[in-house]
Amino acid sequence: MTRAFALLLCTTLAAGAADPLTPKDSALDTRYLRDHAQTRGFMLGRPVRPKVTPDGKTVLFLRAKPRVAKMSLFAFDVASGKTAEVLTPEVVLKGAEEDLTPEEKARRERQRVTVGGFATYHLSPDAASVLVSLSGRLYLVPRATGKVIELKTGKGTLVDPKFSPDGKLVSYVLDQDVYTIDPRTQTESRVTKGGTERKTHGLAEFVAQEEMNRFTGYWWSPDSKRIAYQESDAANVETWHVADPVYPENSPLPSFYPRPGKANVTVRLGVVGLDGGETVWVEWDRKKYEYLANVHWQKLGGLTLTVQTRDQQELLLLRADPATGKTTTLLKEADPAWLNLNHERPHWLADGSFLWHGEGKEGAQLELRDKTGALERIIIPASEGFLGVVHFASKNKEITYRASADPTQQHLFRKSLDGAEPTALSKEPGLHSSVVGKTGVYVHTASLLSAMPRSTVHRADGEKVGELPSVAEEPPFVVKQEISKVGKDPGFYTTIIRPRAFDKAKKYPVILHVYGGPGHQEVLAQMNRRLIDQWLADQGFIIVAIDNRGTPGRGRDWERAMYKKFASVPLDDQVAGLEALGKKFPELDTKRVGVYGWSFGGYMAALAVLRRPDVFAVGIAGAPVTDWYDYDTHYTERYMGVPDKDDAAYKEGSLLTYAKDLKRPLLLVHGTADDNVFFRHTLKLTDALFREGKDFDCLPLSGLTHLVPDPVVMQRLYGRFAGYLRKHLGRPKPLEGATP
């Protein structure tokens, strides 16, 4: 009854005709927010997902129109520098509108894809054909003719299409089993048998998609004769339902959601021939190593898999014999807190040795391992800020990789295994990434401190041959972002965004844009992630962001400092960073500080006003995790430990523990259809606050998930944020001692 009343209270506050959250003297101009939302942060129209054809002659990529969130396929000719449109969703569907199944919508949610059209595309091994999926159907398009051929697959929910390594077949998962189809004869064949909603074949389970960043559950053998597939048994996993209260006539969507301390999906790996014969099950200690993190099947090295313990403190790289299922251990990694996952395959050399993206005592490093898995030497140490291998040319033993000793940047380097000094491929401050083809032709994407992302095409020797053309609208301003390091050694990396009409004679209220959780940095030399913050600063604030202990990029000990201390270490560091910024920059009014964030940042924003009302005057918490017992296993147990052994950490990290302490204005915002951080989280906190007699504000976003792609909602949402912050923080004031 009380929780129902809390929901009613939320809805009433959100839907009032006269907005109680925006002051009457507001002069907010939200036209920029409309443009930002309709252009998806001025990213629509920029080339994405480039792929270089094996002959190095063409770069294919996806691109939308500036204000239409629908991707089409384009081709850039390396010789001439000209670009041509290859395929559009309208041509494929003959003008019909795209219709996504609930399963595909959930898959795109996991992949953080909010645009329509071609979410991705697949090239045949010889790049002669393109494979795309729309409205649950598959289409093959030979590049020579451009003719669209619909593949006559069976009826049902179809996901994860791929070409076989020899290019003769197309595979996919159809209603929980793996199938293939021969495009030449339109003959469909079932590879696995017996898949059901609770026991699926060939699909990555929820935590693999959401937390491990693995979206496939089956893998081809290099000779195209067999398939390794994941069987996921959710028999003992809780079933949670996502329902939209606005549409009670619609049936809730069920999902198998594993919570800390409760049952996970049971996973095993099988190998089966294309004839659909008996499955050979791969053997390992699945009771101890219950997570299947990665699988790779390569010509050199064979079938390998990475498995992980439930507490994520141990990891094994195993080689499997596909004929017998027997495994041998190539290497073991361990950490007393947790091990990070990456999805790089082992890069094999002809002599059986391999390159491995390892977790050393100081952090991530690139290692050379012999054929038994023993460490030979470290190729790139953690001290260089190693981030990952982009490409390995086995013939000349040359690595292209990302690294940066400055955690606010990411740069590209090329290095030979012979020990020569690396060559820098990028220099401008920002985030640099690359896609490299077999011939060495590569696409370099640069997202800079003071410029939007651009993608240029280069030959193997680095010569620039052109730029993938953008049709995006450009933002109406350049972000005034200053990155600095403050505080006592080792200090905190911070960013400050002042109003474009900044008056040095005034003292400005401060807004902390916070995330603070593991695996994510807020302070990066990148303009496009700060456009909204610049608009918010222009409303009369100074926006700051701080990367606390627990965030990546500064070594193993820095990152592991927040282990089992979610409610203390991150918040203590944010407060220390604010104090250091206030001492360095007198224009910051640290007596008027607001905080806002989303997801883990929403958790941090609520935590800040609950635990440190002496510092934070107002908070806005978007989609916050309020009780870590209600989040998923793989993420939560990695950082918080496993119930019941670590219940103290869960209590310390729960917002419900501090509901009695609310003294400051708090706005809670949450999508009612969120299947990542369920709406349950905000309802539990509103219930706790209501029972404690606390005042709070709540804005439910009807039918929205963890992402907010709707342009109207986004415009209204950030307008609401600005009004709420202005109401409780006020406007800039004259700096003490400044001349009027």
Note down the domain range covering 218. 191-343
pLDDT tens-place string over residues 482-491: 999 999 999 9
Give the three-class secondary structure for 19.
Answer: coil
**614 is a domain residue:** yes
**544 is a domain residue:** yes
**4 is a domain residue:** no
- β 116-117/68-77 pair status: parallel
Burial label, 391 (beta-carbon count in 10 A; 0-12, 13-18, 19+):
middle
Does one domain contain both 339 and 480?
A: no
Give the three-class secondary structure for 717.
Answer: helix
Residues 6+ apart with CB under 8 A from 699: 10, 13, 14, 667, 668, 669, 670, 717, 720
Residue predicted with more confidence, 681 or 7: 681
Report the alpha-carbon distance of residue 455 to residue 445 in Å, rounded: 4
Report the alpha-carbon distance of residue 126 to residue 145 in Å, rounded: 15
Verify cis geometry, omega within 30 degrees of 0, for the bond prior to 538.
no
Our count of domains for the chain comes to 2
Instruction: CATH number of the domain at 717, please.
Output: 3.40.50.1820
Strand runs (DSSP E) across 149-244, as ranges? 149-150, 158-163, 170-174, 177-182, 187-190, 199-201, 218-220, 226-233, 239-242
At 358, is the pLDDT very low, low, confident or very high (cuts 50, 70, 90)? very high
**275 is a domain residue:** yes
Residue 200 Cα distances to 192, 231, 257, 264, 297, angstroms: 10, 6, 15, 14, 21
Of 548, 571, 572, residue with least CA distance to 560 = 548
**51 is a domain residue:** no
Q: What is the mean pLDDT of residues 75-87?
A: 96
Residue 725 Cα distances to 210, 244, 442, angstroms: 32, 29, 45
Name the domain boundary from 343, 369, 384. Answer: 343
At 106, is the pLDDT very low, low, confident or very high (cuts 50, 70, 90)? low
Q: What is the mean pLDDT of residues 102-119?
A: 69
Name the domain boundary from 343, 360, 395. Answer: 343
Angle 2-15/680-691 helices, nearest 10 degrees? 100
pLDDT tens-place string over residues 252-303: 888 899 999 999 999 999 999 998 789 999 999 999 999 999 999 999 999 9
Name the domain boundary from 324, 343, 362. Answer: 343
Structure tokens, 579 = 């104090």
Give the three-class secondary structure for 512.
Answer: strand
Q: Write 678-681 long-range contacts (CB < 8 A, 24+).
A: 678/240, 678/242, 678/257, 678/630, 680/630, 681/623, 681/624, 681/625, 681/626, 681/627, 681/630
At 97, is the pLDDT very low, low, confident or very high (cuts 50, 70, 90)? confident
Residues 6+ apart with CB under 8 A from 526: 430, 431, 447, 448, 449
Q: What amino acid positions are annotated as catalytic residues? A: 599, 674, 706
At 245, is the pLDDT very low, low, confident or very high (cuts 50, 70, 90)? confident
Does one domain contain both 486 and 338?
A: no
Residue 423 Cα distances to 390, 419, 458, angstroms: 14, 12, 15
Q: pTM for the whole thing?
A: 0.93
Mean pLDDT of all residues belonging to the chain: 92
Q: Locate tokens 């940042």: which residue?
A: 601
List beta partners, residue 120: none
**654 is a domain residue:** yes
Structure tokens, 479 = 């972000």
Q: What is the mean pLDDT of residues 534-558?
A: 97
Residue 434 Cα distances to 31, 463, 640, angstroms: 35, 14, 35
At 614, is the pLDDT very low, low, confident or very high (cuts 50, 70, 90)? very high
pLDDT tens-place string over residues 5-58: 344 445 434 333 333 334 444 568 899 999 999 999 999 999 999 999 999 999
For residue 182, is pLDDT > 50? yes
Report the alpha-carbon distance of residue 595 to residue 612 in Å, rounded: 11
Q: For residue 315, give the DSSP letter.
A: E
Report the alpha-carbon distance of residue 136 to residue 153 in Å, rounded: 10
Tell me, what's the pLDDT at 226? Answer: 98
Q: For residue 551, give the DSSP letter.
A: B
Structure tokens, 318 = 């195993």
Q: What is the mean pLDDT of residues 637-645?
A: 95
Tell me, what's the pLDDT at 60? Answer: 98
pLDDT tens-place string over residues 302-327: 999 999 999 999 999 999 999 999 99
**313 is a domain residue:** yes
Q: Which helix (H) or strand (E) holds 614?
A: none
**45 is a domain residue:** no
Q: Locate tokens 């504000």: which residue?
A: 697
Rg (CA), the chain: 26
Tell me, what's the pLDDT at 95? Answer: 74
Does one domain contain both 339 and 479?
A: no
Instruction: CATH number of the domain at 200, please.
Output: 2.140.10.30
Tell me, what's the pLDDT at 113? Answer: 62
